[in-house]
Structure 1
């Protein structure tokens, strides 16, 4: 029997990456080693002794060519989830581009240099839009026309540029004469039973989510889309396996990834999920939407005035309001057809698992008192 495959998962200690690694160990086929790469190594489940899969933690930065060359040496498949996510302007555009775009290109070059033949990129629905006009996309697919030329936030521009690079590199010949096959997955917003970074964001803005209903910035009738992190992780595993066994099905392709989480207001769904730990949102907008936009533009102007002296980060921006108030959702028929994707977890299972994880998180987070 030939040796199993070696996988690399960048961002492998993150919210999505850790789920991908766990599923690779539990359900992966013909895998001997998984290299979990992250800038911060933390709290990752170990491979069961009887799984036969070696899980190796590697501290590495995707922008570092030397580190990524070492990581990719002898590997067969790279699943690239590492990315900087920023919708508020906390991170400079230069840094976002360096990590999200140049880091992806660095990793692709390392794959060619080291004869890696499969590359799965975690893109985003943000690679498509919304655009600054707030043009809607309703039950769209990968071929639905949409003007993505004027992205509402710079983060989305970086995801679009990185995805484009990944798909362009499909079919290139490696140094050893093999072929690199690439694909990109576009999940919507994620929820699930993992590290809850949302609380840290609230804390940074001085908001106590347990003090009462949180401010709603999106209209209750807006239709958006979120997906359970376990289902998105499962799609990554299937995409990787398809690149190995049937590269013609996935190579050079982008796939929207969704599940049966109801289409609707993201805030309403989050309120339903978070209810057991006492976090909820108001049922209606805190102010009329036009007033919120006016306030957001005033805060943006204030930020511009203060920029030479202080990095003022407003809690709301025009871009954020557009993101939250644009109908934007897709179907995953293409992933079902070409990847054999079917969600592992139903909406009810996803909701229950997330609630249990949040209750464990709250108990652990506040076991010595909140603050």
Structure 2
């Protein structure tokens, strides 16, 4: 009887969800997804194909692999997929992609947490590219614009002051010094500044995104293989954050677009920022890596390789060396002070506002999200072992 009751409750929730989604459908829209082949972009494109009867989805990306469309064939339906391959700073390309479109998801960005990318390139893509896209959308009368930002525009600050279950109104003093963080913050401001009667915009700030295809998790697995299947500990157990599964981030983007299309919600959502998290338990970055890799036989160091203060000093010295060598040699330290502080500061946020305004509810719980991530890692582990052993 209890099982039947649970089945009935789930069926009622499913029916209510379908009815709710139908009222905010994007059916018939022409949609542009920038960064469409990236970690989040590809997941969002598939979700749009599976849940919406869009007239056309335009894939705007620097590089669209020949087999990318083939991976989506099972979900295509009647939606047309069009490829616009090139740089987000190409005015003519962006104009062609946006002509006749009603909705843009802007997920494309250069992500750099170790200073490997030249700051001018980061600014050019993340800020100037966003500015050009926004200007083009206004000219082409695009109705809605959803921008993918980052938790790193919030902090943590250089003092490592924590936020635990914060929200969009939580006061926090932060002076962004990392070029990536600065570029995303400036792009955010450009998006919010363009919100108005002609085009509604909103900004989503996901937590650290994990899931199938996450290059950061893959990098940690590779480091663990090199270290005899023992993961390096770079964050304190107490420095708990709340990572978010990529499938849930894609759902939040879809819900934001649906809300912007509904006249009453458009007035509420337009010009607003929303944190995107889910029900992944608060956990440190290092312990999160262990949680998804432990089933594959990986252990983790009990403590930092070196004391935190010594790591901080080493990071500072490496940054000085990088500045001295810059005119002659490109040197990228594996660790810097901002990254070290970020890895060791409790920093978590609620998705309550996104739930209230966008109707966002995580679709994947922690158990399923973790299993999907571990299964993906398991599928590529033999190849990674072989590749590393050859080196």
- Give the corresponding residue for 2:229: 212
2:26 maps to 1:7: no
Change (3 A) 1:202 1:312: farther
What does 1:186-205 align with in structure 2 at a 5 Å threshold? Answer: 186-194=205-213, 196=215, 198-199=217-218
Residue number in structure 1 paired with 2:78: 52
Q: Is the 8 A contact 1:184 1:253 kept in 2?
A: yes
Q: What whole-Å deviation, never above 9, does each CA across 1:43-85 have from its counterpart, x for those lacking one?
A: 5322437622122222122111111000001111000000000
Mind listing any 5+ residue stretches in structure 2 that lack a counterpart? 1-25
Pick from 34, 39, 60: which aligns with 2:57?
Answer: 34
Contact 1:225 1:263 in 2 (8 A): yes
* Residue aligning to 1:62: 88
CA contact (8 A) 1:257 1:335 kept: yes
Please provide the CA RMSD for this pair.
2.2
SS of match in other structure, 2:74: coil
Q: 1:72-120: per-residue Cα shift (whole Å, max 9, x none)?
A: 0111100000000011110111111111011111100110111110100
Contact 1:138 1:328 in 2 (8 A): yes
Q: Secondary structure at the match of 1:7?
A: strand
Q: Specify the alignment match of 2:143 in structure 1.
A: 117
TM-score (norm 1): 0.91
Cα distance in 2, alignment partners of residues 352 and 113 from structure 1 = 45
Q: Tell me which residue corresponds to 2:179.
A: 154
Quote how far apart the aligned CAs of 1:355 are.
1.1
Inter-partner Cα distance in structure 2 for 1:9 and 1:329: 28
SS of the counterpart of 2:164? Answer: strand
Specify the alignment match of 2:318 in structure 1: 299
Would you say 1:91 and 2:117 are equivalent positions? yes
Does the 8 Å contact 2:163/2:348 carry over to 1?
yes
Deviation of 1:304 (Å)? 2.3
State whether structure 2 residue 162 is matched by structure 1 residue 139: no
State the Cα distance separating 1:268 from its structure 2 match. Answer: 0.4
Aligned to 1:330: 349
- Higher helix fraction: Structure 1 or Structure 2? 2
Match of 1:176 in 2: none
**Structure 1 residues 209 and 275, CA, compared in 2 at 3 Å: closer, same or farther?**
farther
Distance 1:71 1:364 in 2: 37
1:220–1:283 Cα contact (<8 Å) kept? no
Q: Say if 1:350 and 1:278 are closer, same or farther in 2 by CA, change over 3 A.
A: same
1:244 paired to 2:265: no
* Cα shift readout 1:253-281 (whole Å, capped 9, x = no counterpart): 11000000011212101111022334443
Cα distance in 1 for residues equivalent to 2:173 and 2:387: 50
Q: Please give the secondary structure, in 2, of the residue aligned with 1:48.
A: helix
Equivalent residue, structure 1, for 2:191: 166
Task: Please point out which of 329, 347, 356 is paired with 1:310.
Answer: 329
Residues 126-166 of structure 1 deviation map (CA, whole Å, 9 limit, x = unaligned): 11111222222221101111113x11412111111101110
SS at match of 1:78: strand
Counterpart of 2:12 in structure 1 is none
2:367 matched to which residue of 1?
348
The whole-number CA distance in structure 2 between the counterparts of 1:195 and 1:3 is: 30
| SS of equivalent residue, structure 2 residue 376 | helix
- 1:228 matches 2:245: yes
C-alpha separation between the residues in 1 aligned to 2:89 and 2:83? 18
**For residues 294-326 of structure 1, what are the alpha-carbon distances to aligned partners after superposition, in whole Å with 9 as ceiling and x for unaligned?**
111122222222222211111111111111111
Structure 1 regions of 5+ residues with no counterpart?
173-178
Residues 191 and 228 in structure 1, CA contact (< 8 A), matched pair in contact too: yes
Pair 369,200 (structure 1): closer, same or farther in 2 beyond 3 Å: closer
